[in-house]
Amino acid sequence: MKSKVNHTTFRNEKLFCTHCGGELSLVYPISITDMISKTESFNELHKNCKPTWTEPKANMQLNIKERMDFWHKHGEQGMSSMAMFQRMSGMQLFQRPYSNHPLDPDDFKRCYKLLEAIPEWKKQLHIMRNVSDVWDRLIDNWDKLTELYEDMVISKKDNGMYDLMQNIINNER
C-alpha cells in the first residue's frame, strides 16, 4: 500500500508539492491509469520534502502589465480567476474563454489573490456583473465575501463563507 503524502496537490493543472514547489506538467487528456501512476510517482519523489516553498507574490513596484504577466505565469489559477483575468484585462491568454464564477471559498481565494496582484481591478469589479447573474450577485457581496475569506485565513475555521456563497449562487439571499 502506498503511503499518503499530504503536501502534494494540483496547482494550475500540474501536480504540485506545497513543500518544495516542485511541479509535474501533465498532458491532457490523460487516462486514469496514467494519472494514478504519475501521481504515485510524484508522491514518492516528494514524500520527504521539507517545507521550503513560499508562494510567490507580485512585486507591487512593477507596472500593471508586468504584474498581469507575473500572475499569468506564477499565480494560482482556477476557472473563475481566469474568467476575471480575461474580462478585466480584455485579453484572452487561455485556450478558451471563461465565464465561470467562484463556487466555494477555495475558488474565491484564487480570485482574491488575483486582486492582490492587481489591486487596481478592485475598483473595476463591476465589469464582471454582465458576465452572468451569479457574477452580478457575487459582486454585490464581494466586500462581505472578502471579509469572511480574510477571517477564515486567520482563524482557520469555518465561518459560514461557503454557505453564504451557496445562497448567493442559488439566489437565496
Reported as a single tens digit per residue, the pLDDT across 53-77 is 999 999 999 999 999 999 999 999 9
Mean per-residue pLDDT, 92-98 = 78
Q: Tell me the HSE value of 154 on the side-chain side, using a 13 A CA sphere.
A: 6
Q: Is 80 exposed, middle or buried (0-12, 13-18, 19+ CB in 10 A)?
A: buried
> Residue 173 — very low, low, confident or very high, per pLDDT cuts 50/70/90?
low
Top-confidence residue, 104 or 92:
104
How far apart are the C-alpha atoms of 172 and 2, rounded to whole Å?
Answer: 44
Q: Are 167 and 148 in contact (CB under 8 A)?
A: no
pLDDT exceeds cutoff 70 at 2 = no
> pTM value?
0.86
pLDDT at 13 over 90: no
Distances in Å between the Cα of 148 and the Cα atoms of 20, 82, 156, 158 are 29, 22, 11, 9
